[in-house]
Copies of this chain bind each other. A is one copy, B any other.
Amino acid sequence: MKNTNLPSDNIAYSNIIERTSIRKFTDQNINDTFCEAILHAAMSAPSGVNLQPWEFVVIRTPEFLKELGEALPYSASVTNAPIAILVCANRRRFLEGDDSTLWVQDVSAASENILLAAHALGLGAVWTCIYPHPDREDAVRRILPLSDDFIPFSLIPIGYPAATHAPINKWHPERVHNV
């Protein structure tokens, strides 16, 4: 079913619904200003008790990108990206009790902000999942110098899209329940 009544003239709104996952990139590099802007957007996410439990590893070294892509089939697209951001959680800023896993929500919101900021800047990106896969986490630790306090969460290659495609229509009105 198509939703035909969207505020598509609203640029900020459209950025959210037009974002797609991009896995193939051109050779063009990303300038430092854009990279920093994307990281700033990530840090603008909300977090439980405003603890901001995130850390961001910006990977630009071609050998690291190649090794990660080879070790992580699900993240193979990092191999052809000029940069990738590894979103991590820092155990030193975790809550306790029922909230001990709340950091997953925080770093997920930060990851989504990275995808949306990249799209807003004319770049493409894709969220590839490291956590909660112990084998993927181990592979990342073998390749990258990573503090023991950091839990590698998502690996997001970013670059200029080699091709763009229309977003899949994921509007499912049957998943809306009114009370």
Contacts and interface: CB of A to CB of B under 8 A. Distances in A.
Interface of A: 3, 5-7, 10-17, 19, 21, 33-34, 36-37, 39-41, 43-46, 48, 50, 52, 54-61, 64, 98-99, 101-102, 104-105, 108-109, 111-113, 115-117, 119-121, 126-127, 129, 132-134, 144-145, 154, 167-168, 170-172, 175-179
Contacts of A119: 12
A12 B54 CA distance: 23
Contacts of A11: 11-12
Contact of A98 (B41, B111, B132): B132
B43 A171 contact: yes
A127 B48 CA distance: 9
